[in-house]
Amino acid sequence: MPHVKSTTRAFASPGKYIQGPGEMNRLKEYTSVYGNKVFVLIDKYLSDSIGSQIKLSYGEDADQLYFDNFTGESTLAEIDRVTKLAKGIAPSIIVGVGGGKTLDTAKAVAASMELPVISAPTAASTDAPTSGLSVIYTEEGEQTHCIFHKSNPDIVLVDTEIIVKAPVRFLVSGMGDALSTYFEARANAESDTANYVGKGYKRCRAAMAIAEMCYNILLEDGLAAKLSAEAGVCTEAVENVIEANTLLSGVGFENTGCAGGHAVNEGLTVLEETHHFYHGEKVAFGTICQLVLENRPKEEIEEVIAFCLSVGLPTTLKDLHVEPTYEKVMAVAKRAAIEGGIAHAEPFNVTPELFYNCILATDAMVRNYKLQRGIQ
């Protein structure tokens, strides 16, 4: 996004955000407002479990449900495939059920058909559910670009009973994604870069407050939420972190902007060895890199490192299975600093060389931090 050229402020959000235990069983109530014929795009791994739960909740109206399994990558080809299938059914609403890539695909299909969409995440692993955009990847898992839609999802439906049953790694990954929100918002504010609302506007103070609250919740409740989720229970700390990962991070990034942390994540996607790591895990490492790039105070950087270590997020290249060779690190750096990319929201000129240096400096700084504290 370019720098803002006016003082006009703008704020975008989903039509409704609903979070609580058992909410998926009320899906019929929420879709009936828009019509009876419902097209559900669902992660193929969830088709038998959550798909069956949804069918049961619709009772005698289950014959108006049409399911399709998401293939695994939010590619242009997958969006086209699902759109053609949905057009043949002519539904009144699209529902996405699953992870971020499933939801991004559902949003893109709904946008192309000018239909309402309900975003129903089954893990609190990214902030994709609330946003008015879809991140596009190649078949190999390399991020290429984003598609911006006219509006955000009509409803974001978060069933915390389902979320807490997902692997805990998903929740922790979501914390990694949410961790970047405040720091990237600050960078965008300092550079006065336009946000992601429409063609880009100045950010509202509300968005900055949401971004900062997101970070504070992670510090206060992150570890407790992880431990509770490992015990298989949904406590207030878990509910708070689910909200931070999903709503606060999603509304925060869209209304303020991304920067160095997500740029490093995009860079890491060019390396095949990082493809089995989740988005938020790579963003967590990228966030530390951003703080080093910006030469933030040592205390702030160490606070973020300590948080990542406490919940088990990656903090070094070794954690991400990346060999610190010139070729590999420079490949990440070149993609991170790509012309027109989100790294240029930083309040200074960025280059591949700057990212190369900050990635290696971050790796060395974290290793020294762990060595001084006897952390393996």
Task: Specify whether the CB–CB gap between 117 and 107 falls below 8 A.
Answer: yes
Same domain, 291 and 367: yes
**pLDDT for the residue 1:** 56
Looking at the domain assignment, is residue 2 inside a domain? no
Mark which of 165, 199, 234 sits at the end of a domain.
165
Quick one: 173 exposed, middle or buried, by C-beta within 10 A (0-12, 13-18, 19+)? buried
Q: What is the mean pLDDT of residues 273-288?
A: 96
Q: What is the mean pLDDT of residues 240-251?
A: 97
**pLDDT for the residue 5:** 82
Model pTM score = 0.93
Looking at the domain assignment, is residue 97 inside a domain? yes
**pLDDT for the residue 3:** 78
Question: Are β-strands 202-203 and 155-159 bridged in parallel, bridged antiparallel, or unpaired?
Answer: unpaired
Same domain, 82 and 201: no
Looking at the domain assignment, is residue 90 inside a domain? yes
Looking at the domain assignment, is residue 34 inside a domain? yes
Same domain, 121 and 267: no
Q: What is the mean pLDDT of residues 90-108?
A: 95
Q: What is the mean pLDDT of residues 326-337?
A: 98
Task: Specify whether the CB–CB gap between 263 and 344 falls below 8 A.
Answer: no
Same domain, 111 and 226: no
Same domain, 87 and 176: no
Higher-pLDDT residue of 178, 2: 178
Same domain, 184 and 47: no
Q: What is the mean pLDDT of residues 112-123?
A: 96
pLDDT band (50, 70, 90) for residue 303: very high
Looking at the domain assignment, is residue 289 inside a domain? yes
Looking at the domain assignment, is residue 4 inside a domain? no
Domain that holds residue 20: 9-165
Looking at the domain assignment, is residue 72 inside a domain? yes
> Above 90 in pLDDT, residue 139?
no
Same domain, 190 and 158: no
Same domain, 188 and 282: yes
- Looking at the chain, the whole-number percentage of residues with pLDDT higher than 90 is 90
Same domain, 59 and 28: yes
> Which residues, 6 or more positions from 271, have their beta carbon under 8 angstroms from its beta carbon?
322, 328, 331, 332
Q: Is 101 strand, coil or helix? A: helix
**pLDDT for the residue 370:** 96
Mark which of 165, 184, 218 sits at the end of a domain.
165
Which tens digits make up the pLDDT trace of 352-376? 999 999 999 999 999 999 999 999 8
**pLDDT for the residue 166:** 95
Query: Among residues 354, 348, 347, which one has the least CA distance to residue 330?
Result: 354
Same domain, 147 and 181: no
Number of folded domains that form the chain: 2
Q: What is the mean pLDDT of residues 228-255?
A: 97
Mark which of 165, 183, 208 sits at the end of a domain.
165
Which tens digits make up the pLDDT trace of 25-44? 999 999 999 999 999 999 99
Average pLDDT, the chain: 95
Looking at the domain assignment, is residue 3 inside a domain? no
Same domain, 188 and 284: yes
CATH assignment of the domain containing 105? 3.40.50.1970
**pLDDT for the residue 338:** 96
> Above 80 in pLDDT, residue 311?
yes
Same domain, 60 and 193: no
Higher-pLDDT residue of 139, 14: 14
CATH assignment of the domain containing 348? 1.20.1090.10
Alpha helices in the chain (DSSP H): 27-31, 50-58, 76-89, 100-113, 160-165, 168-191, 205-230, 236-243, 249-256, 260-268, 279-293, 298-311, 326-336, 352-372
Query: Among residues 203, 35, 189, 221, which one has the least CA distance to residue 124?
Result: 221
Residue linked to tokens 């759109």: 83
